[in-house]
A and B are shown apart, each in its own frame.
Chain A
């Protein structure tokens, strides 16, 4: 965390990477992993903090980018745990392209080097050699733990905690604390990174929404709607408000000078400056001034429209002015902040930007937003655990849904899983969930059904389902993608050639059936990362380490004398799953690490199966005779290209769906009204799938709870008189917004559906007939802005 601050531009050194003790620029930095995690000697934190491996790699990469390739970055680690989405690629890139050194070892001591501020690291390599290396700086990857006050608070609230002091939750109720009506999210539930915390937060909101659904809209107040003044055809009367933003702008730009200059510009009726334009009292004052001075267009010269445009547009609305008669001049982020040493030039630039904004706003016209009714039904694609939970969550909040499942039964992959890591029997929980869903009058299940066609858009989709040779059209307002993933069928390790070589799910099946052969086994071997973390599947399947270890424990409990070997690359039992890893070792399960360049091999001779692997400690090959070989095969996404195309959703190179934002929008798509959960997003265990299913439902409810939505007014429109019916706009639009008119006087000409249009302007620039115009960014408006550029200071 301290190192993050040093790297930050707003940190103590202004983003300059120096050693704090003597301000020297470091040439060699070491990261030490698992400080305060996976450690029972120096602290009582047996769990893995789950996030530090990735943080350390990120910090090392950023440091290299900051200080150049000469900087030597070394990460000392035990197991590299890059089990998150796109993390394995990042790790691989750091290792192979960025030249970051990854040293598998546990550091023994750090000694100061006499007479300098350098530090000497003493560590033992895997083959037992003791080495010393000197670094300028050492970053400790300190793990996460629950503060004392939170433990006390939990006692007061009567919430049960785990042995690691995280809130106790169940696999099937991942955000429910032990006390009814209290929900948990984020790192209090277990150590986790941002995407997972965001998923949890939405899931907890959904859980709270479920029990509060009867109270929905009982305490809401309707905002007063101020009638809009019609300014169409009126001469522009522009008001310019120049913001000081405290000293953020006024500290560099001469704000009174800019506002005085603005008064001289054409059509400007009034100009003034504000200390903080965004404060509530200034907003009220601006609305008052707009009315008093009869202004019909407004320019605010302040910060960035990306964050503040909606706020000022609200002010316009409150003053009865169409919110699109507004323009911002960005004189903070693009001016005062980046030219702090040239106040005069910055003031000139501010004047130019104001002049350009005034020129543009004069040309703007009031725009209308299309109002859409939101169909209150959801379509859930996929009837696995995620899909079922999503539908059930929606139903508990009062919304109807349709589940589409291509298979003949519900349950998906969960049907093949024996127990959760906390020993809940999956089949029992699944049976209950399926029963809850099938008896719910608000949930309609379509089995043996696929999707043929999708029409419409957010709030009003029409999806054609094909099932049992009949087609049905389902109207729905939102869609939840829960298409899942399946186990990879290995082609390696002699799989399929001997009945003793099986996958993890095959072993689960044997455990479910209480197969008597399991008790008879003398020896069992597990091979990890089968089909994961290599070649064209450069991702970690996240669930397999815990799955194999859990099954190894099951086997040990069936027959404590069984010899069990787990051949792995890195053990990735993140969070409290680490406790299982410890338990397996205590029970005598033997872990042997292999390298991706030197994989184990399987030989079957005279009915005997033997596996040969190079032991990482002895550094010589050993041969294990075994009765059962379990391959922890990768999770691969179910094919979803058709669906991706129907709903215009991106897939990554591994075939998983790409969410709206990797950190902040993990359960939704950039496409409005479509949401994402479960293993279609990335491999994940049941508890995380359920949390994300609840999160997707929660995000969907934010749309469903509104009866209607407004689209942006800044869209393209076609003047059919000028249209030459060439079809260019139809072929290039990424959103399928343009189409040919089928009836009436303009048959054969193009039109644009303002609801589908995202306002990118691609068609406007491509139209060879000049028939397409852009509301808010039309040619005339941009030209006027350009014509105003000429008064650049010379």
Chain B
């Protein structure tokens, strides 16, 4: 398990978390490179199908933040 690297898809609201992730970059905060961000206009746009589709594609986790 020690070498295991998860694949996580992150759905970020354009107005808050996406901007926060940008700021994390500006602040040079370091985190593991496991996430792939999908920018959405608002977490209101999140549809259950997106979770299912991502899991079916083989990701280990789905992170929605907004």
Q: Do A and B come from one complex?
A: yes
Q: Are B53 and A765 in contact (CB under 8 A)?
A: no
With beta carbons under 8 angstroms apart, the residue of B7, B22, B45 that contacts A764 is B45
Q: In the assembly, what is the distance between CA of A590 and CA of B24, in Å? A: 52
Contact B44 A765 (CB under 8 A): yes
A395: interface (CB < 8 Å): no
Contact yes or no, B25 A337, CB < 8 A? yes
In A302-337, which residues have CB < 8 Å from any B CB? 304-306, 330, 332-335, 337
Is A306 a contact of B18 with CB atoms below 8 Å? yes
Q: Are B28 and A340 in contact (CB under 8 A)?
A: yes
A327-351 CB contacts (< 8 Å) to partner B:
330, 332-335, 337-342, 345-346, 348-349
Q: Is the CB of A777 within 8 A of B45?
A: yes
**Residues in B whose Cβ lies below 8 Å from that of A573:** none
Nearest CB to that of B62 among chain A residues? A786
Chain B minimum-CB-distance residue to A15:
B27
**Pair A714/B57 contact, Cβ less than 8 Å:** no
Report the Cα distance A782→B36, complex, angstroms: 13
Docked CA distance A792–B18 (Å)? 21
Is there contact, CB below 8 Å, between A334 and B21?
Answer: yes
CB-nearest residue of chain B relative to A348?
B33
Interface size class of chain B, counting residues whose CB lies under 8 Å from the partner chain? 35 or more
* Contacts A337-B28, A786-B9, A789-B9; A777 near B54 (Cβ below 8 A): no
Contacts of A774 in B (CB 8 A): 41, 45
Contact B22 A334 (CB under 8 A): yes
Bound CA–CA A245/B58 (angstroms):
33
A789-B22 in contact (CB<8A): no
The verdict on A356 contacting B30 (CB below 8 Å), with A306-B22, A765-B45 known, is no
The smallest C-beta distance from A258 to any residue of chain B, in angstroms, reads: 14
Chain A residue numbers with a CB within 8 Å of B47 are: 764-765, 779
Task: Name the segment of A145-153, A594-602, A754-762 touching the other chain.
Answer: A754-762
What total count of A-B pairs have CB within 8 Å?
A: 113
Chain B residue with Cβ nearest A333:
B25
Give which listed residue, A334, A759, A779, A792, contacts B25 with CB less than 8 A: A334
For A761, the chain B residues whose CB sits under 8 A away are 40-42, 44-45
Identity of the chain B residue whose Cβ is nearest the Cβ of A785 in the assembled complex: B38
Given the interface pairs A304-B22, A305-B39, A337-B26, the reply to whether A786 lies near B53 with Cβ below 8 Å is yes
Report A765 CB to chain B, min CB distance, Å.
4
Of B22, B25, B26, B45, which one neighbours A760 at CB under 8 angstroms? Answer: B45
Q: Which of A330, A342, A785, A790 touches B33 (beta carbons < 8 Å)?
A: A342
Contact yes or no, A330 B40, CB < 8 A = no
Interface string of B29-51 (1 = CB under 8 A from A): 11111011111111011110110
Interface size class of A (residues with CB under 8 A): 35 or more
Question: Quick one: given A761-B45, A779-B47, A789-B57, are A349 and B7 in contact (CB under 8 Å)?
Answer: no
CA–CA, A38 to B44, complex, Å?
A: 51
Q: Tell me if B61 counts as interface (CB < 8 A to partner A).
A: no
Chain B residue with the shortest CB-CB distance to A761: B45
Instruction: List A contacts of B33 (CB < 8 A).
Output: 335, 338-339, 342, 345-346, 348-349
Residues of A within 8 A of B9 (CB): 786, 789
Instruction: Contact check, A341 vs B30: say whether CB atoms are below 8 A apart.
Output: yes
Q: Quick one: given A332-B25, A338-B29, are A714 and B36 in contact (CB under 8 Å)?
A: no
CB-CB under 8 A from A740, the residues of chain B are none
Given contacts A340-B30, A349-B33, contact A786 B19 (CB under 8 A): no
* Closest chain B residue, CB of each to CB of A352: B36
Q: Which residues of B12-26 have CB atoms within 8 Å of chain A's CB atoms?
A: 14, 18-19, 21-26
A746 at the interface (CB under 8 A from B): no
Tell me the smallest distance from the CB of B43 to a CB of chain A, in Å: 9
Query: Shortest distance in angstroms between A716's beta carbon and chain B's nearest beta carbon?
Result: 9
Question: Contact: A787 with B57, CB < 8 Å?
Answer: yes
Q: Per a CB cutoff under 8 Å, which of B37, B49, B57 touches A330?
A: B37
By beta carbon, the residue of chain B nearest A734 is: B44
Cα separation A362 to B36 with both chains bound (whole Å): 19
* Inter-chain contacts of A762 with B (CB < 8 A): 42, 44-45
A463 CB to closest chain B CB, in angstroms?
28
CB atoms of B36 and A349 under 8 A apart? yes
Within the complex, what minimum Cβ distance (angstroms) separates B24 from chain A? Answer: 6
List chain B residues, Cβ under 8 A from A9. Answer: 26-29
Q: Is A686 among interface residues, defined by CB-CB distance under 8 A? A: no
From known contacts A345-B33, A785-B38, A786-B9, infer whether A765 and B46 are also in contact, taking CB-CB under 8 Å: yes
A261 proximal to B (CB < 8 A): no
Is A783 interfacial (CB 8 A cutoff)?
yes
Told that A338-B29, A774-B41, A789-B54 touch, could you supply 7 new A-B pairs with CB distance under 8 A?
A14-B28, A306-B14, A334-B22, A338-B31, A760-B41, A764-B45, A786-B54
Interface positions of A (Cβ within 8 A of B): 9, 14-15, 304-306, 330, 332-335, 337-342, 345-346, 348-349, 352-353, 356, 714, 759-762, 764-765, 774, 776-777, 779, 782-783, 785-787, 789-790, 792
* Shortest 9 CB-CB contacts between residues of A and residues of B: A761-B45, A333-B25, A762-B44, A760-B42, A337-B25, A9-B27, A345-B33, A333-B22, A765-B47
7 CB < 8 A contacts A-B: A333-B23, A333-B24, A338-B30, A340-B30, A777-B45, A789-B36, A789-B59
